[in-house]
């Protein structure tokens, strides 16, 4: 599987570890940066590039997932979710890692590098990669609704308040 990785300065040590770990496990890893420590770096472009590459690969039939992380993982998740077609999940334990894939077919995982040990974060990522999507109709329907809203700004028959009133 192809794995797209991005971080900021807070996750650089985790990034180096994961690249080696994932390649050893047989994955193709593409690092979207940063490559060197800079305390003032800006994570949005790194994470958006990783999420976009993940979505692009999936759309062309390449099996791929994205992994983004920073201090808390929150901003990185928000950045990744700006990409149309990205479903980035903030993960903080094994259960949320598995459920992100099983129920939400998340294609990007976000982790707070300052919130977990390297071993914990690695276990979350391994669980995320290993967990298949269930393909249950209720989950497929909900994901389809998210995509519809992303494309059109509404969900047919679901009373979305597009005017903010």
Cβ neighbours of residue 139 closer than 8 Å, sequence gap 6 or more: 103, 104, 105, 133
Cβ neighbours of residue 99 closer than 8 Å, sequence gap 6 or more: none
Catalytic: 103?
yes
CA nearest to 133, candidates 107, 161, 153: 107
Catalytic: 115?
no
Q: Indicate which residue of 4, 9, 76, 102 is catalytic.
A: 76
Q: Indicate which residue of 103, 120, 139, 150 is catalytic.
A: 103
3 state SS of 89: strand
- Active-site residue set: 76, 103
């Amino acid at each position: 599987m192809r794995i797209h990785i991005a971080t900021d300065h807070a996750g650089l040590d985790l990034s180096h570890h994961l690249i080696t770990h994932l390649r050893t496990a047989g994955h193709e890893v593409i690092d979207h940066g940063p490559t060197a420590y800079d305390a003032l770096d800006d994570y949005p472009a790194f994470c958006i590039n990783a999420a976009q590459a993940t979505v692009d690969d999936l759309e062309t039939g390449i099996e791929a997932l994205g992994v983004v992380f920073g201090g808390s993982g929150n901003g990185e998740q928000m950045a990744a979710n700006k990409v149309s077609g990205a479903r980035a999940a903030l993960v903080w334990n094994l259960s949320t890692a598995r459920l992100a894939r099983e129920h939400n077919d998340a294609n990007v995982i976000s982790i707070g590098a300052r919130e977990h040990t390297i071993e914990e974060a690695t276990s979350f990522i391994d669980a995320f990669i290993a967990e298949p999507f269930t393909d249950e109709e209720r989950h497929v329907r909900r994901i389809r609704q998210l995509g519809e809203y992303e494309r059109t700004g509404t969900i047919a028959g679901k009373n979305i308040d597009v005017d903010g009133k």
